[in-house]
């Protein structure tokens, strides 16, 4: 519309004002009935995949967004879903994995009119009370359980609270909830195999907390890969996944009488902190120390030396977890989902060991 036309329209008392798009607008645009639009937008059965895709595309093109207040008044639902992360807030803020994962969750929730309620809580009583608070008066319809722990008390708690849920990874106990998993142990094994092929024998692992199932799985995978390759006794230092703990672990490893020639880190920002520690100590990377990370964050390709890292798709993981949870809430009883295995992206931070 030109500036002149816009001014004319604004000055015409009888000109209709265009409000927010309605379901009727979406139906007309997609060439279907309002009832079919309602079924598709609420992820109910009875709509073909092709028609559902056309309706969702029309809604996106028109900029349609559901009125959460109107929907929650018409049905016994809040149209809000919870993500409680049991880690230190500073660790969450610094870890790019969570940013990417949440972006994937939001990409699905926004299209279906869901609101994401995000909370950080200390594992234990505070965490349990956070879940109870979210369940009170149906503030959320379901939750995503991350960082599963051994004998995780959240699984029976969420069952008790009557919430739908999806777990990231499979719990080590009976669970009625679908799991969305990735074989992160396979990623660690590829890193060890890569370093072994370069000729490294003294390889250390800077791990996450052993109380977290995925941290424990990565440690077990590291030790197993070392044994299978016939390498020297594996060295493992546990951390809380933070960059500061990664730096501390690196200093301890480099102060050993016989230091490792390679370190496998359990995430990228610990690996980047480790590279800084090594370079400040006058140890060249990769000439004297090879380094691998995990998650293949954006920075991995832009630092110097660029970081060899295990690539996982955190955005896709978030999107699949969100879709699985929405399907569960809709009563579809989705099964477990196994994501593609991680792959190693080789860059400048790994090389043959010093002779």
- The DSSP secondary structure of 279-345, one letter per residue, reads HHTT--TTTT-EEEEEE--GGGGTSSSPPEEEE--HHHHHHHHHHHHHHHHTT-----EEPPPPEEE
For the structural domain made of 19-57, what CATH number should be given?
1.10.260.40
Q: Which residues of the chain have pLDDT under 50?
A: 1-17, 68-70, 72-75
CATH annotation of 80-178+319-338: 3.40.50.2300
- Cα separation, 259 vs 96, whole angstroms: 29
Q: Which residues of 183-220 are buried (b: 16+ CB within 10 A; e: fewer)?
A: bbbbbbbbbbebbbebebebbbbbbbbeebbbbbbbbe
User: What is residue 34's predicted lDDT score, i.e. its pLDDT?
Assistant: 78
Count other Cβ atoms within 10 Å, centred on residue 349: 26
Query: What SS3 state is found at 63?
Result: coil
pLDDT of residue 171: 97
**What pLDDT is stored for residue 152 in this prediction?**
96
What CA–CA distance (Å, rounded) separates 203 from 234? 7
For the 184-313 domain, the top CATH level (class) is alpha beta
| pLDDT at residue 212 in the model | 94
CA–CA dist 173, 215 (Å, integer): 17
Closest CA to 104 of 144, 77, 136: 144
Q: Spell out the domain ranges in the chain.
A: 19-57, 80-178+319-338, 184-313
Are 80-178+319-338 and 184-313 the same fold in CATH?
A: yes
Question: How far apart (Å, rounded) are the C-alpha atoms in residues 345 and 348?
Answer: 10
Residues 6+ apart with CB under 8 A from 189: 221, 222, 224, 225
């Amino acid at each position: 519309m030109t500036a002149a036309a816009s001014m004319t329209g604004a000055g015409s008392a009888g000109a209709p004002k265009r409000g927010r798009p309605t379901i009727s607008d979406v139906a007309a645009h997609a060439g279907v009935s309002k009832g079919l639009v309602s079924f598709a937008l609420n992820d109910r059965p009875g709509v073909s995949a092709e028609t559902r895709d056309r309706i969702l595309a029309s809604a996106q093109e028109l900029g349609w967004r559901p009125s959460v207040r109107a929907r929650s008044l018409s049905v016994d639902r809040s149209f809000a879903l919870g993500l409680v992360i049991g880690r230190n807030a500073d660790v969450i803020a610094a870890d790019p994995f969570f940013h990417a994962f949440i972006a994937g969750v939001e990409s699905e929730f926004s299209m279906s009119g869901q609101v994401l309620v995000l909370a950080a809580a200390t594992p234990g009583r505070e965490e349990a009370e956070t879940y109870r608070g979210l369940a009170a008066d149906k503030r959320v319809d379901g939750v995503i359980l991350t960082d599963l722990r051994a004998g995780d008390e959240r699984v029976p708690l969420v069952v008790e609270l009557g919430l739908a849920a999806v777990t990231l990874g499979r719990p080590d106990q009976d669970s009625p909830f679908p799991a969305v998993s990735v074989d992160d142990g396979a990623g660690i094994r590829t890193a060890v195999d890569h370093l072994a092929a370069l000729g490294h024998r003294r390889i250390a692992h800077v791990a996450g907390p052993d109380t977290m199932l995925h941290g424990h799985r990565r440690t077990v995978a590291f030790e197993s890969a070392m044994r299978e390759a016939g390498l020297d006794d594996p060295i493992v230092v546990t951390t809380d996944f933070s960059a500061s703990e990664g730096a501390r672990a690196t200093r301890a490893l480099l102060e050993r009488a016989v230091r490792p020639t390679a370190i496998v880190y359990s995430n990228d920002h610990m690996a980047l902190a480790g590279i800084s520690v090594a370079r400040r100590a006058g140890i060249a990377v990769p000439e004297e120390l090879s380094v691998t990370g995990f998650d293949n964050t954006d920075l991995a390709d832009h630092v110097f030396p660029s970081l060899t890292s295990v690539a996982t798709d955190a955005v896709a993981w978030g999107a699949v977890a969100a879709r699985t949870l929405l399907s569960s809430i809709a009563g579809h009883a989705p099964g477990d989902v196994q994501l593609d295995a991680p792959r190693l992206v080789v860059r400048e931070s790994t090389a043959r060991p010093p002779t």
